[in-house]
Amino acid sequence: MNTTNKPPNNSDQLFLAIGEFFVSFSNLISITEHLTASLISKDGDERSYKRARIAVSNLTAQPLANAFFSLLKEFETQNWTTNDKSLVKHARVELDTLIAQRNRFAHDIWHLGHPNLPQPSPDAWHRIRTIGTPKHGLVTEFEEITIDQISNLIHNIKRIDTNIRQLSLAGIACDDYRPELHMKFLIDESGTKQVVCILYDSNG
């Protein structure tokens, strides 16, 4: 049977959305790895960059994020205001939160409907985590995930990617760089405070 022209159903769209999420996240980690190596080898040559890239290439997402922001601290100057530091701190929290979300997506069990759980809406999947606790024994946590939720996460990945690229410029401009000249706090529609690159925000 030829299904080439068959329009995607909700399940297919969820598969595509989850796949796009993981690819987008992978791109974010790749650029963070490159920029971390660039900060390490800032005063060296191509060989220094290559050695730095070797050093960070086996780091998983969280240790890599820790390394990037630890290096960024080395480029902080006395010119940085309280707001500058708050922007950097919040940008790190956002990346850490995103990494935790990716880990849950990667390690939880996905079900499109399950006989022992309430049935999800047609455009959602259940994301299930079964854990053992000293107090309750076996506990099953589940959350309904929709295409819109995943799309919002992909949008956040792109925003955080832009922030990481922007913050890395501290290693190039040094004393002339201050985060609040290029970044700002923004409250989104849900009331959540976000760090947004000013240029990124103006371009939509």
What is the pLDDT averaged over residues 129-140? Answer: 85
* In the chain, % of residues over pLDDT 90: 62
Q: How confident is the model at residue 24 (pLDDT cuts 50, 70, 90)?
A: very high
Q: What is the pLDDT of residue 174?
A: 80
Most confident stretch, 68-72, 124-128, 143-147, 200-204: 68-72
Q: What is the pLDDT of residue 122?
A: 62
Pairing of β 137-146 and β 183-187: unpaired
- Angstrom distance (rounded) from CA 18 to CA 20: 5
- Angstrom distance (rounded) from CA 156 to CA 14: 18
What is the pLDDT averaged over residues 169-194? Answer: 91
pLDDT per residue as tens digits for the range 73-129: 999 999 999 999 999 999 999 999 999 999 988 988 777 656 666 666 666 666 777
- CA dihedral 33→37→39→40, nearest 10 degrees, is 140
Q: How confident is the model at residue 1 (pLDDT cuts 50, 70, 90)?
A: very low
- Angstrom distance (rounded) from CA 99 to CA 139: 23
- Angstrom distance (rounded) from CA 174 to CA 94: 24
Q: What is the pLDDT of residue 129?
A: 78
What predicted TM-score, i.e. pTM, was given to this entire model? 0.86
For residues 127 and 143, the answer to whether their CB atoms sit within 8 Å is yes
